[in-house]
Amino acid sequence: MASDETWTPSRRMEALYADVIVPRHIAKAFTYRVPATLAQTIAIGHRVLVPFGRSVLEGVVISLNNHLATDIKTASIREILSLGHDGHTSTLLPVLFELSRKIADYYVAPWGQCLRLILPAMATRKTARARYVATAEGRAALEAGLCPDYLKPILDRIARRTPGILSSTLQPTRRENVVRIDALINKSWIELMPSNNTNVEHHKPRRRLVLGDYDCRTPMDGILPTETLPAVDPSWKTHVAHCLHSNHMKKLVLHAPWEHRVSRLVDAIQQAHSMKRSAIVLTAEIARASWLKQVLSRLTDIQIILARPPSEAGQWQPSKGQLPSVVVGTRSAIFSPLKSIGLIWVEDEEHPALKEPQEPRYHAREVATLRAESERALVVLASAHPSLESRFDTEAEIHHVPQEVALQPTIELVDLRNEPSGTLFSHKLIRAMHEALQNHAKILLFLNRKGYARTLVCRDCGWVPRCDSCIVPFTYYREAGRMICRYCGKADQLPDLCPLCRTPRISLVGDGTERVEAEVRRLFRQVKLARLDGDTLRHSASAQALWEGARSGMWDVLIGTQALFRPDLLLRYGLVGVLHADSGLHVSEFRAAERTYHLLVDAANLACPASTGGRVIVQTRLPTHHAVQALISGDPNHFYNEEFAARRLLRYPPVCHLADLSVTGKDHRIVEEAAKRWGADLEQNDRDQESLIVLGPVPAMRRRPKGRERYRILVKGTDLTALCRRIHDSVRKMEREYRKGQIKFVVDMDPIENG
């Protein structure tokens, strides 16, 4: 239905209909009649409460019209119940409303699902001592039969008791009850009254996130001293000022060590603030966001707001007159309801956590660019090792700030092919560890694999124990004496005999941090050591003690995975040992080399400068690989150029765009058939359409939903708009052909994990 944004009083007297999008996996809008009480106030972008089947949902008006479409019968039209309220406003910011539509187009997702990203969380009531009491108007509505059927059970239940009902008994955490109670309050049929007095307590939304939140819960350890920040060069200041003053979007990729990124972030925030423009700073994890919020508060003397994750609290709302604002948060902070945004800064832009795993599966880096376009803002993608997508973005300017030579450690290479088979610690690394301990230098040993061994294998028949649900090999944990799936957590006992050939020749394959710890204790019996990985950091109490020990230098030897790479871990190590630099290269993932290079750079950055004896020893069986050679030479361009050439040859991002399509269902035959039909449909090209590369379908080899079959299809295309349109048309066609609930079709644009 076409929208009409120009409404005159005379036309308001006619019948008025609204097309409403609801937050469900439904592509189309639903038409509702606008009640006379709302005809003068309702507008496009307003949040409204509407009946939807037997429930009530909060949707958004996307168009208004005085006439119904010819295929809609007037008798089937239901009426909007009320405007949606959360204690602030029923109107969405136009820029966020439009952003949700762009996300729906980009990620081939129903617009209703994208509205979930910008709709404020529904208020909850935990005031157990407060009571809902029926008003005289409410009792009169019941007697006159004016109460709608969906509201009648709750209103009748409240009206039957003169003192009312405790708010806690109405299951206030259920969204359906919340919207029904909101509707009754809006109609003045019930009131919320404290039990200890007769004053009315109005409907309260969740507590706002106020300035300074989290200060009492986040330790101040690891705050960067101001004097250690490098000075910002004048050319950066001038260029940022030019970008902020320009009347269109600018994109910068900042390739720099974290000290330089922080100093430039501080400068950019201060410049935007002086121009009365707001800023959003995104990072991958809430712990990093909390740390960064404290750093920026101290260095800018500006009040910084920490945006909470949607699962933890309601959406932050700016206070009146609170402009400009600076918001720091995880990926969802990109939807903060700020006005006059001048700066969007994405820290660690290559981090996988910036990708939303659920529909609409957006990437905060790309959404930041979409919002910057609407706001005409400067977007900065910052990292110590930018992704290839950002490094070769034709719309971005690259600013590279290399690490000062005086701060770089000595990096040495050990070819494990020249060591005995199964070597975990080379002779060179053992000697270096003895020297470091004699000089009272701290040691860090890095291996990005938990457990004792990667898996087990039968030396006679090659059998490997695998998880039934995920189809991936079990990881062996010696301390627990069990095999555990690293995806779903399923555990199994270590077999005495191979179940296929019935022989006991079962061997461990690959090393994990548990084995590293055992070997260090065997070789260096008197040292103080700790292990930091996903297993030891699982419980908050033990994790806090481990981090405090790591920051204070309590341990002589620290063993860990990528969990070590935190900005607030300021301690530098005299010796860093990378035990298997190539371990991440042997996986079926086209980003394997890129992620390996990132980990190697992060590990090397934890070493002291060479002038103070800092050493990095890299053990590998692939010493000529470009990820290893780029680290040894200190030349990141060597890695980027080699990797880009490989991606161009194989046609993977950033040379093209990638879509990961999956089909899931309980019946293997139907799932396989649907996947083949979907792939065949995408391979059909009209004369004016771009040719797509379709790989598959193939059975999914990991993360298979329990009790369900899954097939995957990879689709490559150079034109993003054409690729999205083709996939959108094909998935709608497939959903029409297969009844709902039998088969599920999932689209993941620009996937982070493949498999």
CA pair distance 369, 390, nearest whole angstrom: 11
Gap between the terminal Cα atoms of the chain: 40
Q: What is the largest CA-CA distance in the chain?
A: 91
Across the range 325-352, mean pLDDT stands at 93
* pLDDT tops 60 at residue 504: yes
pLDDT of amino acid 476 = 75
Name the strand (E) or helix (H) holding 507: strand 506-509
* Residue type present at position 715: V
DSSP track, 306-332: EPPPTTTSPPP-PPTT--S-EEEESGG
- Evaluate whether 118 touches 741 at the Cβ level (below 8 Å): no
pLDDT of amino acid 131 = 73
pLDDT of amino acid 462 = 75
What percent of the chain stands above pLDDT 90?
A: 42
pLDDT of amino acid 267 = 95
Query: pLDDT tens digits for 234-292?
Result: 999 999 999 999 988 999 999 999 899 999 999 999 999 999 999 999 999 888 898 89
CA distances from 700 to 495, 660, 678 (A): 26, 11, 16
- Evaluate whether 172 touches 130 at the Cβ level (below 8 Å): no
Look up the CATH superfamily of 226-400. P-loop containing nucleotide triphosphate hydrolases (3.40.50.300)
Q: Which CATH number fits domain 657-749: 3.40.50.300, 3.90.1150.10, 2.60.15.10, 3.30.70.600?
A: 3.30.70.600
* pLDDT tops 90 at residue 211: no
pLDDT of amino acid 126 = 34
DSSP track, 190-244: EEEEETTSS------PPPP--TTTTTTTS--TTPPPGGGSPPPPHHHHHHHHHHH
Distance from the Cα of residue 638 to its chain's centroid: 30
Q: Spell out the SS3 assignment of 7-47.
A: CCHHHHCCCCEEEEECCCCCCCCEEEECCCCCCCCCCCCEE
3-state secondary structure of 144: coil
pLDDT of amino acid 354 = 95
Query: pLDDT tens digits for 631-674?
Result: 999 999 999 999 999 999 999 999 999 999 999 998 889 999 99
Across the range 78-103, mean pLDDT stands at 80
Look up the CATH superfamily of 405-454+510-649. P-loop containing nucleotide triphosphate hydrolases (3.40.50.300)
* pLDDT tops 60 at residue 139: yes
Across the range 171-193, mean pLDDT stands at 69
CA pair distance 9, 323, nearest whole angstrom: 35
Q: What is the mean pLDDT of the chain?
A: 82
Top-tier CATH class for 9-115: alpha beta
pLDDT of amino acid 724 = 93
